[in-house]
Structure 1
């Protein structure tokens, strides 16, 4: 089942987020990592908010363990995110371009 993952990184900046994305080898509007369905990020009063949709929690957890955690530390993000999970009842995709 698809899972929505909400990550609240208190004290983080969008500049640090951009460093993490580069370390992951990802690009803005580029293809998502295997298992990821959607992703967006925004600045908040306290840091940054990242919202993802993954094919499964197991795929997200492996990605977080192998990439998000280590690269966030390397970028100087001060603490691990507060994470909230929600089972996705439904989601939409752009579908094939016509």
Structure 2
């Protein structure tokens, strides 16, 4: 079942987010299996990320690969909020 992943990143700047995004997309394993879509936006005091994934397992496998990039980028360790998606419409 598809999932929605919401991550609120306190203290993260637009510049940090954009650099991290570029590093993820430069990784040899990108695009990640099970990835559907991504959006990022400024939030109160940080940055908000919303992703769609085909499953919790796909997201978990990606997080294992992406964690070092987040750490190198100075991102805080936060627990994502994960919800089962009822409808996923693309395009």
Shared fold (TM-score greater than 0.5)?
A: yes
Report if aligned partners of 2:8, 2:48 keep a CA contact under 8 Å in 1: yes
Alignment: residue pair count: 88
In the alignment, does 2:57 pair up with 1:58?
A: yes
**For residues 44-91 of structure 1, what are the alpha-carbon distances to aligned partners after superposition, in whole Å with 9 as ceiling and x for unaligned?**
112100000100011001111211x211111122x1123101000111
CA distance in 2, matches of 1:53, 1:25: 16
Larger Rg: 1 or 2?
1
Structure 1 unpaired stretches of 5+: none
**TM-score, with length taken from structure 2:** 0.86
CA distance in 2, matches of 1:32, 1:48: 22
**TM-score, with length taken from structure 1:** 0.80
CA RMSD of superposed structures (Å): 1.6
Moved over 4 A (4+): none
Report if aligned partners of 1:9, 1:82 keep a CA contact under 8 Å in 2: no
Structure 2 unpaired stretches of 5+: none
